Amino acid sequence: MRFIEWLDDRLQIKSMLKDLFDHPVPKRKLSFLDFLGFATAFSFFNQAFTGLLLATVYKPSAKEAYASIQGIQNNPLEHFIRSLHFWGANFMVVLIFLHILRVFFVSAYKKPRELTWLVGGVLLIGTLGLAFTGYLLPWDQQAYWATTVGTAIAGYMPVIGHYLVSLARDGSNVTGLTLTRFYAVHMLLLPALILAAFGVHFFLVLRQGMSFTEEVAKAKREGGQVRGGTEPFWPNTVWKMMLFVSLVGVALWVLALRFPAGLGHAADPLNKSQYIPEPVWYFFSIYQLLKYFPGKLDVIGTVGLPLVFIVVLFGLPFFDRNLSRKVKKRPFALGTAGIVVVAIIALTYIGYQSVPKAVASTGVKAHPSFSGDILPVLQSSCASCHGSSGGLTVTSYDGIMHTGDDKPVVIPGHPTSSLLVQKLLGTVQPQMPLGQNPLSKDQIQNIENWIKDGAKNN
Amino acid sequence: MKRGAIEKPNTEKFPQMNRRTFFKAGIATLGTLIGVGYLGSALAFLWPASARAAKLENVGALDDFAPETATLVTYHASSGTPEGVYIVNTAGKLLALDFHCTHLECAINWSPDLKQFLCPCHGSVFNIEGVNLAGPAPRPLYRRVLQVKGERVLIGGRII
């Protein structure tokens, strides 16, 4: 390699590369989980690459954004690049969280790697910022209303809340000005921040080596050998890393090909179709959590918990004075983290279940079954209010038959005198679902037929 | 004093200050001022215009707004993106209410039967004047500037 020689003559890169890459790694401890950070970096470069291509065809204005995405959707190659960008965003969020969990589990944030952890915190916030700002750019209904709700949350911050919201939106509502602002943040500010932080993060990792390599140094000091032997970081470990990242890349491509990114109806700030926003899946846990803090306690969920998260994230290497890296000696740290992870998964699942989903029309059935035809409709259209509050509970057979302020709402055999039907038809006001489009004629007819049949739990 | 002799600096008054430290302090101050200048102008650049100062826009004639009901009109001035505003005619006066729920800003719907605004997201309820009656909404609906000029009804930016 004459070029390397030429470069080395001028920059002495050989000694630098040797410092960074030439160290032994304990074979026994190596796990593909140690490559999650590298995989996160890969997904960022996927975003940068596909984002750059998309930027050449996307038009960042409220008048043209949606049409330009439609154009992208209609061109197979452009659509595929957008799908890669869409799935890459999901990958990046998932991988960075898994990476953080892994680093936490193996105590790699402890001395001397506190700075690496802190810079990683900046990378996490930058990643979530990219996900949030990128969500608005297609300018469809979901983008518009999820951003309206998402930015509204900042308004709960005491004193400065209103300023934060109008600073984010460039005005009191989400408008074309917001789109331009988010575009600049998504395209310039956050990528620059992430690149800078990533540079520092990556340098620190190479400089200090991964935390488990310390075992080798310790063994060397004591004149012994690491149990299970070692392998050189370059080339052995690096090639394993490349294999793992390639597999992640293949998964990304397969998902992008198999499940292309979609596009909803154009953003309608007047919401004539009465669209009800729902958050992107990684915010489902917060979305569900907010439901447990009714009324004035909202501020706990909207401001308090995110603040606690940030304090814990950036304070962790300093709060956690326990120097041990053994799992058994860290019951509190690992126990707490375990509970938080389980809670997030559970909340995401419950939140996902509670989102009103479009129920496929089954047409009118003469003898509909409760579990097959009635309960799904009630759950999708009524349970967001009549789930745990709102008097009547519609999430189970017993609930429908035996709860409510005006119970019974179902009189078996008599659909027209059942309050449930009267409310759905609007013959008793207010018509349900409150403030939304009525159920379809088919759906109401099925409920009537089911009551006529004796309102059985079938 | 002889001609041509160099006057000694007055070190009694500023014992720490010689030429070198003076220049260092001066350069640091200049650098800080430039930094603050960039930061300050960035903030001023990004700061949104005052909502109250938004342009007034004609949304209809007095007769368009029947008593004791709410009418959805559109406001465009600030950005070209339509913004929904309910004009309410109640108790002999006109109000301009922003059509976003004050909980998480979903779009509310006017129910003519109930004479209330209902939010489809978490069930907040507001009366015709926009006062929050039920649900998680923490405050009344935001109002916007409203002026009547002759027969014309004009609305402007949001009043926080």
CATH number at residue A125: 1.20.810.10
Residue B6 lies in a domain: no
* Interchain CB distance below 8 Å, A175 and B80: yes
Range of the domain at A73: 25-278
**Beta-carbon pairs below 8 A across chains A and B:** 108
Q: List the single range of A289-293, A337-341, B32-36, B73-77 with lowest mean pLDDT.
A: A289-293
Q: List the single range of A62-66, A101-105, A189-193, B120-124 with lowest mean pLDDT.
A: B120-124
Residue B8 lies in a domain: no
Residue A348 lies in a domain: no
Predicted pLDDT of residue A384: 64
Q: Are residues B66 and B106 in the same domain?
A: yes
Residue A311 lies in a domain: no
Q: Are residues B23 and B72 in the same domain?
A: no
Q: Are residues B57 and B133 in the same domain?
A: yes
Q: How far apart are CA A179 and CA A171, in angstroms?
A: 12
Predicted pLDDT of residue B7: 63
* Interchain CB distance below 8 Å, A269 and B82: yes
Element (H, E) at A21: helix A13-21
Q: Are residues B36 and B58 in the same domain?
A: no
Range of the domain at B64: 51-159
Looking at every residue in chain A, the average pLDDT score rounds to 87
Residues A23-35 have a mean pLDDT of 83
Q: Assess contact for B108 and B99: CB atoms under 8 A.
A: yes
Residue A7 lies in a domain: no
The label of the residue with tokens 């890349």 reads: A249
**B109: which chain A residues are within 8 Å (Cβ-Cβ)?**
274, 435-436
Q: Are residues B40 and B82 in the same domain?
A: no
| Total number of domains in chain B | 2
Cis check for the bond before A433: say yes or no (omega within 30 of 0): yes
* Interchain CB distance below 8 Å, A385 and B123: yes
Q: Are residues B85 and B115 in the same domain?
A: yes
Predicted pLDDT of residue B160: 65
Angle, in degrees to the nearest 10, between helices A13-21 and A2-11: 100
Q: Are residues B24 and B91 in the same domain?
A: no
Predicted pLDDT of residue A377: 79
Residue A353 lies in a domain: no
Q: How far apart are CA A404 and CA A408, in angstroms?
A: 7
pLDDT digits (tens, 9 = 90+) for B9-30: 555 666 677 888 899 999 999 9
- Tell me which amino acid residue B113 is: D
Q: How far apart are CA B156 and CA B147, in angstroms?
A: 8
Residue B75 lies in a domain: yes
pLDDT digits (tens, 9 = 90+) for B25-71: 999 999 999 999 999 999 999 888 787 778 899 999 999 999 999 99
Write out residues 101-160 of A within 8 Å (CB-CB) of B.
Answer: 145, 148-149, 152-153
Alpha carbon dihedral B108, B110, B113, B114, in 10-degree steps, equals 50
* Interchain CB distance below 8 Å, A274 and B46: no
Q: Mark out the alpha helices in A355-454 (DSSP H runs).
A: 375-381, 397-402, 419-425, 441-452
Calculate the alpha carbon distances from A212 to A28, A31, A111, A313, B4 in Å. 10, 11, 13, 22, 72
CATH number at residue B135: 2.102.10.10
Please enumerate in sequence order all residues whose Cβ is within 8 A of that of A46, keeping only pairs 6 or more positions apart, or say none. Answer: A84, A85, A88, A91, A249, A252
B9: left (phi over 0), alpha (psi -120 to 50) or beta: beta
Residue B7 lies in a domain: no
Q: Are residues B128 and B153 in the same domain?
A: yes
Structure tokens at A368: 């509909």
Residues A320-326 have a mean pLDDT of 82
Percentage of residues of chain A with pLDDT beyond 70: 95
